[in-house]
Chain A
Amino acid sequence: MTPGAYVLEYHLVNYRRTWRASALSTLVMPLLTMLGFGVGVGAYVSGGVDGVPYLDWIVPGLIASTAVQAAIGEATWPVLSYFEWLKVYFAQAAAPLRVADILGGHLAFMLFRILLSATAFLGVAVLFGAVHSWWAPLTLIVALLVGFAVSAPTVAYSASISSDSYLAILMRFAILPMSLFSGVFFPIESLPLVLRWVAWALPLWHGVDLSRDAMLGLAPGWLGLWHVLYLLAWCALGWWLAHSRFRRRLVI
Chain B
Amino acid sequence: MESLIHARGLVKRFGEFTAVDGIDVDVRRGEAFGFLGPNGAGKSSTMRMIGCVSPPSGGELRILGLDPRRDGPRIRSRLGVCPQLDNLDIELNVRENLTTYARFFGIPRKVARRRADELLDFVQLSERADSKVEPLSGGMKRRLTIARALVNEPEMVLLDEPTTGLDPQARHLVWERLFRLKQQGVTLVLTTHYMDEAEQLCDRLVVMDGGRIVAEGSPRALIEQYSTREVVELRFAAESQEAYAEKLAGLGDRLEVLPDRILLYVDDGDEAAAEVQGRSLAPASVLVRRSSLEDVFLHLTGRTLVD
Contacts and interface: CB of A to CB of B under 8 A. Distances in A.
Interface of A: 1, 3, 6-7, 9-10, 13-14, 17-18, 86-88, 90-98, 250-252
B81 A10 contact: no
A10 B104 contact: yes
Contact of B104 (A14, A17, A86, A95): A95
B85 A87 contact: yes
B87 A90 contact: yes
B124 to A, nearest CB: 22
A91 B83 contact: yes
Given A13-B92, A251-B55, A96 B87 contact: no
B73 A98 contact: yes
Interface string B36-62: 000000000000100101110000000
Contacts of B91: 14, 17-18
B11 to A, nearest CB: 15
Say what secondary structure dominates the interface of chain A.
helix
B96 to A, nearest CB: 6
5 contacts: A10-B100, A14-B89, A88-B89, A95-B104, A250-B53
Given A18-B91, A86-B90, A91 B54 contact: no
A237 B4 CA distance: 40
Contacts, number: 71
B51 A94 contact: yes
B107 to A, nearest CB: 10
B77 interface: yes
Given A86-B89, A94-B83, 10 more contacts: A7-B104, A10-B100, A86-B87, A87-B87, A90-B53, A91-B101, A92-B104, A94-B76, A94-B81, A252-B48
A94 B53 contact: yes
Contacts of A91: 83, 87-88, 101
Contact of A10 (B90, B103, B105): B103
7 nearest CB pairs, A to B: A87-B87, A95-B104, A96-B77, A96-B73, A94-B81, A96-B76, A91-B87
Contacts of B96: 13
B83 A90 contact: yes
A188 B48 CA distance: 52
Interface in B227-282: none
